[in-house]
Amino acid sequence: MSDNKRFTAVILLLSLSLIWGTSFILIKQGLKIFSPDQVGALRVAAAVIFLLPMAFQHLKELKSSDYWKLFISGMLAVFIPAFLFAIAQTHLDSSLAGILNTLSPIWTMLIGAMFFSQRFRGWAVFGIIISFGGCIILAMARAGGGLGAFNVYALLIVLACACYGTNLNFLKFKVNYLQPMTIISVSLLLIAPLAYVYLFGFTDFTYKMANVEGAWKAFGFVIILALMSTAVANLLFYKLLKISSPLFASSVTYVMPIVSVMWGLIDGEVLLLGHFIGMALILGGVFLANRK
């Protein structure tokens, strides 16, 4: 890699870490006014607007059989996780949500092995066990530094990570002939009607926007979340993959939780000893599972 490409790759990596690491505090701000289902639907509904021109431009590249594949990809990569993260963060700090999100590479390996004939390498099994052990400790950490009842809402983020892992394998083995921009923009276009119908037809979103103090501020936070974390970040990530190695691009996994923890601490969240132990085990497990 040339010096210019290396510098660009580092800038992209730091930008992605900042954007994705900030996602969780933005969800938290949106939840101050909106219900979790409204935050999830609004995130999807707003993200598609940014990529709408590109989606229509790339429709001509598709075969009829591609539409259902991209719909599934959109559900797994955006729609379902948007709701799961918002619901989870009603009972889970944003910093912890960011840490748990680092389980995505583990699920990518597991789904690949279970359904796509991929093989584990070396330390992978040990790393997977350590990561999920860290997840359990993180979900059980309580005030006073000890362990208490398991926070079941942590499982929603684990499920969201499973969706991400399934989608990555699905794209790799079923839709690898399409360009990244086609996949991102068209999948958003296909799932957006569900978000709009739900948001305006089944929630009191418009009433809150018109009558609840602070609604426009919360709306702004979710719009930033949608445009940056869902639309722009995906474009940056594929750019990073294009000019660097997958191993380098995957290092965003290790930097992102640092950003989410920093935002959480700034917002007054408290991390206990159990949280730090859980975070260390998760990141250590991911590192072992992905080492060559």
pLDDT of residue 18: 93
pLDDT at 290 over 80: no
Q: In the chain, what percentage of residues exceed pLDDT 70?
A: 92
pLDDT of residue 75: 97
Q: Which letter does DSSP use for residue 283 in this model? A: H
Helix (H, G, I), strand (E, B) or coil at 160: helix
- Distance (Å, rounded) from C-alpha 115 to C-alpha 168? 12
Question: What would the pLDDT profile of 91-120 be if each residue is shown by its tens digit?
Answer: 999 999 998 988 888 888 888 888 887 777
Poorest-pLDDT segment among 107-111, 152-156, 221-225: 107-111
- Distance (Å, rounded) from C-alpha 181 to C-alpha 67? 15
- Distance (Å, rounded) from C-alpha 138 to C-alpha 136? 5
pLDDT of residue 203: 97
Q: Read off the pLDDT band of 144 (50, 70, 90).
A: very low
- Distance (Å, rounded) from C-alpha 163 to C-alpha 226? 18
- Distance (Å, rounded) from C-alpha 122 to C-alpha 169? 20
- pTM, rounded to two decimals: 0.90
Mean pLDDT of all residues in 177-206: 94
For residue 147, the cross-strand partners are 141
pLDDT at 292 over 70: no
Q: Are 259 and 74 in contact (CB under 8 A)?
A: no
Of the ranges 31-45, 110-124, 129-143, the best mean pLDDT one: 31-45
- How buried is residue 88: exposed, middle or buried, by Cβ count under 10 Å (0-12/13-18/19+)? buried
- Would residue 26 be called left, alpha or beta, if left means φ above 0 and alpha means ψ between -120 and 50 degrees? alpha
Which residue, among 83, 75, 79, has the nearest Cα to 39 in the 3D structure?
Answer: 83
Mean pLDDT of all residues in 136-151: 69
How many residues are present in the chain? Answer: 292
Of the ranges 137-151, 233-247, 263-277, the best mean pLDDT one: 263-277
- Distance (Å, rounded) from C-alpha 13 to C-alpha 233? 10
- Note the maximum CA span of the chain: 58
Residue boundaries of the structural domains of the chain = 3-290
Structure tokens at 256: 């992102």
- How buried is residue 3: exposed, middle or buried, by Cβ count under 10 Å (0-12/13-18/19+)? exposed
Which residue, among 223, 262, 235, has the nearest Cα to 26 in the 3D structure?
Answer: 223
pLDDT of residue 147: 58
